[in-house]
Chain A
Amino acid sequence: MMLPYLALAAILFSIGLFGVLTRRNTIGILMSLELMFNAVNINFVTFNKFIWTDGLVGQMFAIFIVVVAAAEAVVGLAIVLLLYRNWQGIDTDHVSVMKW
């Protein structure tokens, strides 16, 4: 019964993950992250619906995540802004100075 939901969440997560790992554009990465968050949210809601039915714990967490994601997006966009200022671009390839 809940398999379609989970499958959706998994697909969504995979897409988000792929985006995070492959996108060069920082904004894109942030967007992909949002996808991953949402996949998680779907899972929470699904599990609350089908497994843990007492109360709305899952939904509550989903809402938390939405809030946190918003805050994270703010921080992320601020970083992106700084990246842009420093490198005149938001390509992640530029941001690899912290290595060996």
Chain B
Amino acid sequence: MILSSLVAVPLLGMIIVMFLPKDKFNAIRWTSLLISVVPMVVSMWITWDYFFNLSGTSALAYVEGPYDWIPSLNIQYYLGVDGISVPMLFLTGLLSTLSLLASFGINNRVKEYFAFFLLLEAGMMGVFVALDFFLFYVFWEIMLVPMYFLIGVWGGPRKEYAAIKFFLYTLFGSIFMLVAILIMYFTSEPHSLNMVILLDHGPTMSHTLQMVCFIFFFIAFAIKVPVWPFHTWLPDAHVEAPTAVSVILAGVLLKMGTYAMLRISWPMFPQALRDLSFWIAILGVIAIIYGALVSMAQKDLKKLVAYSSVSHMGYCMMALAAFSSVSAIAGCMFQMVSHGLITGALFLLVGVIYDRAHTREIAAFGGLGAKIPVYTGIMVMFSMAALGLPGMSGFVSEFMIFVGAFGALNKVLVGISVLGVVLGATYMLRMVQKIFLGEFNMAKWGGLTDINLREIISVAPLAVLTVAIGVYPKPLTELMTATLENLVSLMAR
């Protein structure tokens, strides 16, 4: 019941919001916020309970079902979580609430906005708890709809372009996933869509079919991650999307790609994975270096952060390619969580400055450190976190990934990827220098006000978690260890 509630509460909330009067903005805002607190609290409780009571084994927890849903097609309602979905649920719950808090500035079509947002949350939660392919696919697709409207209606100047690009690109990938799902469905006997059953079915398929399914799944998930060269929807979507949507996009949606790889295509097709891991690693390394370089050339602050996402998700891909190493996979999970926190926060902060200055052009600023010290402090802190400074979560994840990948992959390749650390420092510090350091233009930015309490509240939990994970990563590793070991053994089949 508890997992269903994660999906059902936001859905119900959406319906409630839709019945609220259209012009009662504050009522709508607070209702949505309160509704989203419920799944957040539930997901936190799950994390808590899982950590203390269930993390010892890799068994699925809080399992619901499998109940027959469409018996003639053997489609089931089947939910459950394990060590890799629990952190994602936590992240989703937290970021959804914070993004809703950050959305209070929306004044245009408020009701629709918040309704869509809740629908989005339901979809995200669903993806992380579904254990049936049909259910998974439904949730995967259902998110596209609110996302499309959130970007397309409340976005920036090129919102339509960005929204359509995002939607079509992702849908394009989903088609491949659907085909792969159908291949698995029809080759299994009896026909099944149950992920747990198909986990054992995958390796028994013929090698060709495994390759086909793996590649099809990979395309679908790689677009979501996004893996180079499928990444170009990301900067557009990020730049055009409203702040809160960017946060969700970076914080949760990108993680669904890597999560799905870990949950589905990696353990299901270990032989194909072995054949292709080198190429996946190459894609990862290209993304790291390339994303960083492109990020360096950006003039738009938000685009810089967006491209840094490409670079950071490249670390995840490299870690996933080093599938034989528990530390690399754990690093990947860490990177997913920490990227969600850090990049989410960076987008929130970009939104803060954009709300005040109405520009995101890096060159337009300068010397803001003297005028808005608190904002500067927070922004510098997250920039440092993003470039992998120890004491923050990004460092732990990068370190684990590098060590794991160095043992499992081509050493030269990993050696090249380490360059990303320097490049990361370069683009982040250039940004910090150009915005906050140097001479302050009093005439232009004299009226700038510092970050306010609501904004601090929406960033503070992320800051606390970033530091907490960076300083004390042990709980998170312990939460995942059993699941990851099991995963690695599955991938070694």
Chains A and B touch each other in the complex, with CB atoms below 8 Å apart? no
